[in-house]
Amino acid sequence: MSQTKKCKWCGETITRTNRQAPSVWKTIKVCSKSCGTSYKWNKCSKAQMPTEPVKHCVHCETLLVRKEGEHRQAWEKRKYCNKSCAAFGSTRSKAVFEGSTVEDEMRLGLVRYVRGTDEFNQIARLYA
């Protein structure tokens, strides 16, 4: 009669071997060292992990996709989809771009238009 239980991280079945004492079997929660590390750091199962937020490029408003092999910290910091959009952000006034409030924008006479709206398309036709 073999005993089984589910891995706390990935959900795979763990089977008890004949050589494991009951006290050892009780302490086993995960199927491998990598699952143990993930479970230890996240304090939840893989299925309960929150999904990545939907992010858009600050300049061109395209959907940002996480690059293959990109670390979590780098993904959270990234605001632009490519180098040309990032270059645009570096030349723009930081006070207006990041830390402005609605009152500051009204005082400076700034108006933000949302891409795809009729008002934005009318203004874009003027500059085309």
Q: Mean per-residue pLDDT for 93-99?
A: 51
Please state the domain extents for the chain. Answer: 4-48, 72-127
Task: Please give the mean pLDDT across all residues of the chain.
Answer: 80
Output the CA–CA distances (angstroms, integers) from residue 23 to 16, 34, 39, 116, in the order listed.
12, 22, 21, 64
pLDDT at 95: 47
Judge contact between 5 and 14, C-beta under 8 A.
yes
Q: Mean per-residue pLDDT for 78-87?
A: 84
**Sign of torsion over alpha carbons 56, 58, 61, 62:** negative
Q: Mean per-residue pLDDT for 104-126?
A: 80
pLDDT at 17: 85
Query: What residue has token string 């949302």?
Result: 114
pLDDT digits (tens, 9 = 90+) for 43-58: 777 777 767 677 888 8
Judge contact between 73 and 51, C-beta under 8 A.
no
Q: Mean per-residue pLDDT for 73-78?
A: 85
Confidence of residue 113 (pLDDT cuts 50, 70, 90): confident
Query: Would you state the structure tokens that stand for residue 92, as one six-digit string?
Result: 């723009």
Query: Would you state the structure tokens that stand for residue 126, as one six-digit string?
Result: 């003027």
Whether 121 shows a pLDDT value over 80: the answer reads: yes
pLDDT at 90: 63
